[in-house]
Amino acid sequence: MIRSVNEQGSGQPWRVYGVDFSGAASAGRKIWIASGVITRSALRIEACRPAQDLPGSGRDRDRCLAALRDFIAGERASAFGLDFPFGLPRPLVKEERWEDFIRSFPDRYATPEEFREACRLAAGGVELRRATDLQARTPFSVYNLRLYRQTYFGIRDLLYPLVRDQLACVLPIQRPFLDRPWILEICPASLLKREKLYLPYKGGTQEHRRARARILNGIESSGHLSVQTSKLRTAVMDDHHGDALDSVIAAFAAFQALRKPTGLAVPGNGAYALEGYVYV
């Protein structure tokens, strides 16, 4: 029997994953996954690895995203923080329900370029923002030049098959069933702004590395995050692209949402039910 967390009251995932997503052709190298377990009031990060290391994965985007999709579907009693947009601004959505929008997405947009151009035309050349983008202070519109490929491949190759086959629960739009993984949209930049740790940290200089260390130390100082080993910490710091650190931030953002179960539903703005919601 599938049980809902709302029906049980105390049900919660015990493992949390943060996924720094990419729509690049070599996505297996760019996507990083941090994994941790909840211990009392903290998240302990136990591993951080590129998606090409998943079973059946590789550098190629199609192969990598198929492996990531299978991995998510198999991780029950878990929550995933994914850093790509789960929807579009309301004026660009023809459907009345988010699930219908997701199911129609692959047939409506054949390529990421077609997706971006269709959004730009429908918006009159303006980069519209979702209600949650304004509230969470995300950096870009969902079809911005720097983000549109993440939006496209994230929705088409992850959300669409998981929603179609009822393999996961996408919060806060869907009810969080205990027998399926929970998926939450997060944004590392938004969380860093909230924590006043929004620093230039992506790069190969010592200054960039010090910034990555400052960010991780700053989050750990909250008492709600720890990295299990010094070797793992060094691996996160040494990734000069910042993808490993972003995956840790994504996991922390998902964990923070889980710490406030009543906030998972995000009552109030009706736009969230169609556009999606960024947990910060």
pLDDT at 263: 65
3-state secondary structure of 227: strand
Neighbours of 11 (CB within 10 A): 16
Rounded to an integer, what distance in angstroms lies between the CA atom of residue 9 and that of residue 174? 16
Q: What's the total number of domains in the chain?
A: 1
Q: Match 């370029």 to its residue by tokens.
A: 113
Asked if 236 contacts 212 with a C-beta cutoff of 8 angstroms, the reply is: yes
Residues 96-112 have a mean pLDDT of 97
Residues 63-72 have a mean pLDDT of 98
Residues 102-126 have a mean pLDDT of 97
Tell whether the model's pLDDT for residue 6 goes beyond 70: no
Tell whether the model's pLDDT for residue 2 goes beyond 70: no
pLDDT digits 0-9 by tens, 152-208: 999 999 999 999 999 999 999 998 888 999 999 999 999 999 999 999 999 999 999
Average pLDDT, the chain: 93
pLDDT digits 0-9 by tens, 224-273: 999 999 999 999 999 999 999 999 999 999 999 998 766 677 655 689 99
217 Cβ contact list (under 8 Å, min separation 6):
none
Tell whether the model's pLDDT for residue 4 goes beyond 60: no
> Got the DSSP string for 63-112?
HHHHHHHHHHHH-TTEEEEE-S-SS--GGG--SSSHHHHHHHHHHH-SSH
Residue with more model confidence, 22 or 269? 22
Q: Would you state the structure tokens that stand for residue 4, as one six-digit string?
A: 């809902």
The rounded percent of the chain whose pLDDT value lies above 90 is 86
- Written as one letter, the residue type at 242 is G
Phi, psi of 41 (to 5 degrees): -105, 20
- Written as one letter, the residue type at 137 is R
Rounded to two decimals, the pTM is 0.93
Q: 158: domain range?
A: 5-279
**1 — pLDDT class (breaks 50, 70, 90):** very low
pLDDT at 178: 85
